[in-house]
Amino acid sequence: MRFKFLFFPTGILLCLCLYHGYISVFSWDELSEAASPSLPIIFAITPTYSRPVQKAELTRIANTFRQIPAFHWIVVEDTNNKTSLVTNFLKSSGIQHTQLCVKTPAGVTKARGTLQRNVGLCWLRETFQLTEAPSGVVYFADDDNTYNLEIFEEMRYTNKVSVWPVGFAGGLRYESLVLNDAGKVKGWRVRYDPSRPFAIDMAGFAVNLDLILEKPRAIFRLDVKPGYQESSLLQDLVTMEDLEPKANNCTKVLVWHTKTLNPNLVGDQHFTDRNIEV
């Protein structure tokens, strides 16, 4: 599948799917036959980019994703062409997947992963028609996070948008949500800019697939301040009253930001074999 990105005068980014190419080692017919008819499918969109720890990060989260039933992994590389490292990794992962790619333009220096997430949304909208789509939920699963398996079962039966705390986010031990006595969201337990329309971390929400298909213009936008990416999508989908608290009324942390340290490679110039993939 090829994608074209248009930047309108307002700075709003729209992603248009132009035509299909080789995407995945699975056709959707094969995936739908393999999926359990009783379980909504979790579609996890993961942006990724080339760096020394890329394969290590993908391996770590794949070891989690491999244990999740009715799961489809949409991996979107920040490259002009799909790389052999990611292609071979996904083929050997044992996980049903789709591999896509789009290169972030040189002039875009903030909000890494925005275009890649939008391409994942485009693929879903191009693949499924609202009246024929499987029951499912969409989650934005970055490759440098750590996930408890429980969070995926929490999100699986999302009606519109489900929410939960995220560990090690926003300069805090965790960011969360403030609930009223009825268990509905009434605010945000965050330090950074709590006035945001949806002060929620990217790892802290999931969206019902039907809602993504019903709202084809809902995307992540580049013409917003740092920390407003999540709001740029969610404000086109729901209101605060629609949010569904999970993780025991937002009292359990089941996902964490845990970036792998950049390795010390100062002694490796012209030493190890560059033909060996790390």
Q: Annotated catalytic sites, by residue?
A: 230
Q: What is the dihedral of CA 5, 9, 12, 15, to 10 degrees?
A: -20
Comparing CA positions, the residue from 85, 91, 121, 149 lying closest to residue 5 is: 121
**Assigned token pair, 150:** 């429980």
Q: How far apart are CA 178 and CA 157, in angstroms?
A: 22
Count the residues in the chain.
278
* Exposure on the CB side of residue 271, measured as CA atoms within 13 A: 5
Q: How many CA atoms, within 13 angstroms, populate the side-chain half-sphere of residue 177?
A: 28
- In what side-by-side order are the strands of the sheet with 71-77? 97-101, 71-77, 41-48, 136-140, 205-208, 161-163, 243-245
Separation between Cα atoms, residue 213 and residue 211, nearest integer Å: 5
- Known binding residue 144? Answer is yes
Tokens of 119: 């391409």
Q: What is the C-alpha separation between 133 and 99, in angstroms, rounded?
A: 20
- Stated as kind and residue range, the H or E segment containing 226 is none
> Encoding tokens for residue 267?
């002694």
152 and 68 in contact (C-beta within 8 Å)?
A: yes
Euclidean distance between CA atoms 17 and 4, whole angstroms: 7
Question: Known binding site for Mn(2+): residues?
Answer: 144
Write out the binding residues: 144
